[in-house]
Structure 1
Amino acid sequence: MENNIMLNKDIFWVGKVDDRDVPFHRLTLTRGTTYNSYLLMTEKPTIIDTVDMKFGREFVENLKNIIELEKIAYIIINHTEPDHSGALGSLATFAKNAVIVCSKLAVVELKEMYKLHNREFLVIGDGDTLDIGGKTLRFIETPYLHTAETIVTYCVEDKILFSCDIFSTHIANYEYFNDIAKEDIKNDYIGYYNLIMHPHRRYVQNMIQKIKDLDIKMIAPSHGFILREDVKSYIDIYDTMSKSTKTSKKALILYSSMTGRTKKIASFIMEKFQEQNIVSEVMDINKTSREEVLKAISEAQAIFFGTSTKYADMIGNMEDLLKSLNTINLEGKLGATFGSYGWSGEAIEVVQDYLKQTNIKLLNTSDIIKGTGMIDVQLPIRIRFAANEEDLKNIERAVIYTTDLLLSTI
């Protein structure tokens, strides 16, 4: 473990530089990374985040050289992913008196991941504060940056934002601070934004609004360089990149309905796209000419295909339409499926199979989880009988996700 680096009076970096080729989200970080953990040596000593579980023992042994672990009062976990919380189990074994501080959503995950069912947790929410004896910490919820339970921590007196994954870089470095880096870090900084944050761009804007009135003199992220020079310029990069949108996108919702329930789903999808300022259109493919439908498909950037299920099959003209898609180049377009059903809803899956044979980018939950870590976007949209309140929330999340993809593409 490296030397402990002072950020400000009584605040130290106690993390780990990982200069391997690091496996990360099905990629390899050829420049390595750092796991930034911070120790606040106040009257109530506090750890903010830990390191990857691979280095848990090393992390704990290093801390033993700095502080009696039983004196640690709080362990703050901004994000439960193991590159942040990985050493929590090891640390909690020795820091027997520490209260674990995290968001409500994080509690169950941390208890299950590290067998902490008998430990004391302090659940915090937006705007809550914690006095750690000489310093005040304020907490801000930043969901989906990049998972639902994520928070950031602001030290009021020192004006330091402990920003979790936000404002990070994936670079193994021993300079620690951006103002003494051997090279310009902005390309790596922007690359990290594009990889991790841009798929969640609407939540970046929510975060910007939450921190805009904070006096931030330093940003201490979970990975890479600590930002203490030109801090505002780095915040501005996130602000600018998350606003840069194309506004000429169009969504098309095609459906074939038996009882009217799939039609209602189609109308709701259109309504939610319109709320996102996406031009949208609904078409009943059984009442519209094939030529008109194909023309609309060629003009749209996102196409939702919906059908009811009857005797395990699609209804109306849906199958004929799907067979004719090979006459259109669907490259660059987003596709999704939906429908109401009464038993097992095979027709929705058959539509999926047809779309897989085209070059449309077919949206599905499996790819969303692998690409973003988001587990609450359900595609295809499968509604048994009539949509209930939870179904409508699921549809809205799917539309928001699709909108974010639309606005992220050039």
Structure 2
Amino acid sequence: MMEMREIRDGIYWTGKVDDRRVPFHRLILEKGTSYNSYLIMDEKNVLIDTVDFMFGKEFTDRLGSEFDLLKLDYIVINHTEPDHSGALGSVARKAKNATILCTEIAIPELMEMYKLGIERFRAVDDNETLSLGKRTLRFLHTPYLHTEETMVTYLEEEGILFTCDIFSTHVADTRLLASELSDDESIDADFIGYYSLIMDPHRRYVNPMLDKIEGLGVSMIATSHGYVLDKDTDRYIGLYRESAEKVKDVRTVILFNSMGGNTKRLARLLGEELEKTGIRAEVIDANVRPKEEILAKVADADGILVGASTKYADISGNLEGILAEFKEMDLQGKVAGAFGSYGWSGEAAHVVQDYLKEAGMKVLTTEEAVRTTGMDDVSFPLRVRFKPEDSIFKVKAAAAYFADKVRY
């Protein structure tokens, strides 16, 4: 564990550089990583984030040897994952006077993870400020970057944005500051690589975050992994904007069978939402178009949504015959999702989903959405009771998730 290092007057890096080759999410960290924590000393003293739980005791002991933890007034947790909050339990038990600041959603998670009482916590609102004496913190909620409860913290007088995972890199380097690299050393590949792994699945939330920080005058980005970006901050922010706005020409087919008209309206609503994202969506009635034409459209599409009304716990009309053809086609890995309206039981969407899986398609599910993104507002198969207009939030969330998956 490195000693505390002053990065601005009265502001200290107090983290852990981990040069091990360890698994992280879906890859091995060939260059290691760091777990960055920051201490701000003012009339009120603040610790921003901690380190991975593996280093919790080491971190707490070292921090306590350099700073009296009884003088710590606040602990800010921007993101609850244990590679950032891992030392919270041990620090909080020694920093008995410290209040833990986080989003409201984060409180029950942290209470359960670290067995802390609710009296230790205070939820901060979006755009709320907190005076430390000479300096002011501003809290900005950034949901789903990359989990629901996340926020960033801005130190106004210094122009320092404490971003946790956002703008991070997975590199273990004791130099810490990007400005300490030589002119021929670039971190762009590591920066974009991290974005692609962690943030890209949540790209629809990136621009709202960038809009929030635009105009703040950020002069330093204090991340939770890798380098502190103390130069070229506008360029790195621009790289996020550029990455989030990259689009490719995507064609999708929304195939449906509708008995009373609700599934037809649901198909059209999904198509409208996809078109808003720049994705071409062709809505096709399985009972109107010739089967050969439909199969050709499906083969040529980047993604497909298939919807059905429920009749006697099954699907009806021409749709089942079309779906039966899918497993004879080369649809392996094509993004697909099932939907449908219903009045009572709603089995048809599940029947459709089974056909899509049999065809080897990449079928979207609620479980996958929660596991990979933390988004619990996404429903697949998308099942809507009666009129889809009454469940427009579910429709929009499903369309946005499908758009993200089919585009990238």
TM range, smaller chain:
over 0.9
What is aligned with 2:368? 367
What is aligned with 1:173? 173
Say which SS state the counterpart of residue 104 (structure 1) adopts.
coil
CA 1:244/1:277 → structure 2, altered by over 3 Å: closer, same or farther? closer
What is aligned with 1:86? 86
What is aligned with 1:107? 107
Letter in structure 1 aligned against 2:197: L
Residue pair 1:5, 1:12 contacting (<8 A) in 2 also: yes
Alpha-carbon offset, residue 365 of structure 1:
2.4
Letter in structure 2 aligned against 1:323: A
- CA-to-partner distance for each residue in 1:329-361, whole Å, 9 max, x for gaps? 335632100112345433322222221122432
Q: In 1, Cα distance between the equivalents of 2:88 and 2:290? A: 61
What is aligned with 1:151? 151
Q: In 2, Cα distance between the equivalents of 1:385 and 1:315? A: 17
Greater CA drift, 162-171 or 254-263: 254-263
What is aligned with 2:263? 262
- CA-to-partner distance for each residue in 1:189-232, whole Å, 9 max, x for gaps? 11101111112222211122221201111111010111112222
Say which SS state the counterpart of residue 382 (structure 1) adopts.
strand
What is aligned with 1:354? 355
Residue pair 2:148, 2:374 contacting (<8 A) in 1 also: no
Q: In 2, Cα distance between the equivalents of 1:240 and 1:314? A: 43
Alpha-carbon offset, residue 239 of structure 1:
1.6
Alpha-carbon offset, residue 2 of structure 1:
1.1
Greater CA drift, 28-37 or 111-120: 111-120
Unaligned runs of 5+ in 2: none
Residue pair 2:329, 2:359 contacting (<8 A) in 1 also: no
Letter in structure 1 aligned against 2:37: S
Q: In 1, Cα distance between the equivalents of 2:398 and 2:39? A: 40
Letter in structure 2 aligned against 1:154: Y
What is aligned with 2:127? 127
Identical-pair percentage: 49
- CA-to-partner distance for each residue in 1:74-101, whole Å, 9 max, x for gaps? 1111111111111111111111111111
What is aligned with 1:317? 318
Greater CA drift, 74-83 or 340-349: 340-349
Task: Tell me the C-alpha RMSD between the 2 structures.
Answer: 2.0
Letter in structure 1 aligned against 2:23: P
Q: In 2, Cα distance between the equivalents of 1:375 and 1:33? A: 29
Letter in structure 2 aligned against 1:56: G
Residue pair 1:301, 1:332 contacting (<8 A) in 2 also: no
Q: In 2, Cα distance between the equivalents of 1:230 and 1:397? A: 35
Of 230, 235, 238, the residue aligned with 1:236 is 238
Q: In 2, Cα distance between the equivalents of 1:115 and 1:343? A: 43
Q: In 2, Cα distance between the equivalents of 1:218 and 1:329? A: 50
Q: In 2, Cα distance between the equivalents of 1:123 and 1:42? A: 21
Q: In 1, Cα distance between the equivalents of 2:218 and 2:325? A: 57
Q: In 2, Cα distance between the equivalents of 1:118 and 1:244? A: 43
Q: In 1, Cα distance between the equivalents of 2:204 and 2:386? A: 32
Letter in structure 2 aligned against 1:310: K
Alpha-carbon offset, residue 13 of structure 1:
0.7
- CA-to-partner distance for each residue in 1:68-123, whole Å, 9 max, x for gaps? 21211111111111111111111111111111111122222222222223324332
Residue pair 1:60, 1:91 contacting (<8 A) in 2 also: yes
What is aligned with 2:253? 252
1:95 aligns with 2:95: yes
TM-score (norm 1): 0.93
What is aligned with 2:59? 59
What is aligned with 2:164? 164
Unaligned runs of 5+ in 1: none
Residue pair 1:342, 1:384 contacting (<8 A) in 2 also: yes
What is aligned with 1:206? 208
Alpha-carbon offset, residue 47 of structure 1:
0.5
Letter in structure 1 aligned against 2:62: N
Q: In 2, Cα distance between the equivalents of 1:323 and 1:270? A: 24
1:12-23 mapped onto 2 (5 Å cutoff) = 12-23=12-23
Q: In 2, Cα distance between the equivalents of 1:329 and 1:48? A: 51
CA 1:189/1:120 → structure 2, altered by over 3 Å: closer, same or farther? same
Alpha-carbon offset, residue 368 of structure 1:
2.7
Residue pair 1:56, 1:87 contacting (<8 A) in 2 also: yes
Q: In 2, Cα distance between the equivalents of 1:387 and 1:202? A: 23
What is aligned with 1:335? 336
Letter in structure 2 aligned against 1:346: E
Letter in structure 2 aligned against 1:9: D
1:47 aligns with 2:47: yes
Say which SS state the counterpart of residue 12 (structure 2) adopts.
strand
Alpha-carbon offset, residue 327 of structure 1:
5.0
What is aligned with 1:195? 197
Q: In 1, Cα distance between the equivalents of 2:299 and 2:226? A: 44
What is aligned with 1:382? 383
What is aligned with 1:223? 225
Say which SS state the counterpart of residue 375 (structure 1) adopts.
coil
Say which SS state the counterpart of residue 140 (structure 1) adopts.
strand
Q: In 1, Cα distance between the equivalents of 2:316 and 2:71? A: 68
Q: In 2, Cα distance between the equivalents of 1:242 and 1:26? A: 21
Letter in structure 1 aligned against 2:164: C
What is aligned with 1:293? 294
Q: In 2, Cα distance between the equivalents of 1:370 and 1:104? A: 21
Alpha-carbon offset, residue 35 of structure 1:
0.8
Matched length: 406
Say which SS state the counterpart of residue 118 (structure 2) adopts.
coil
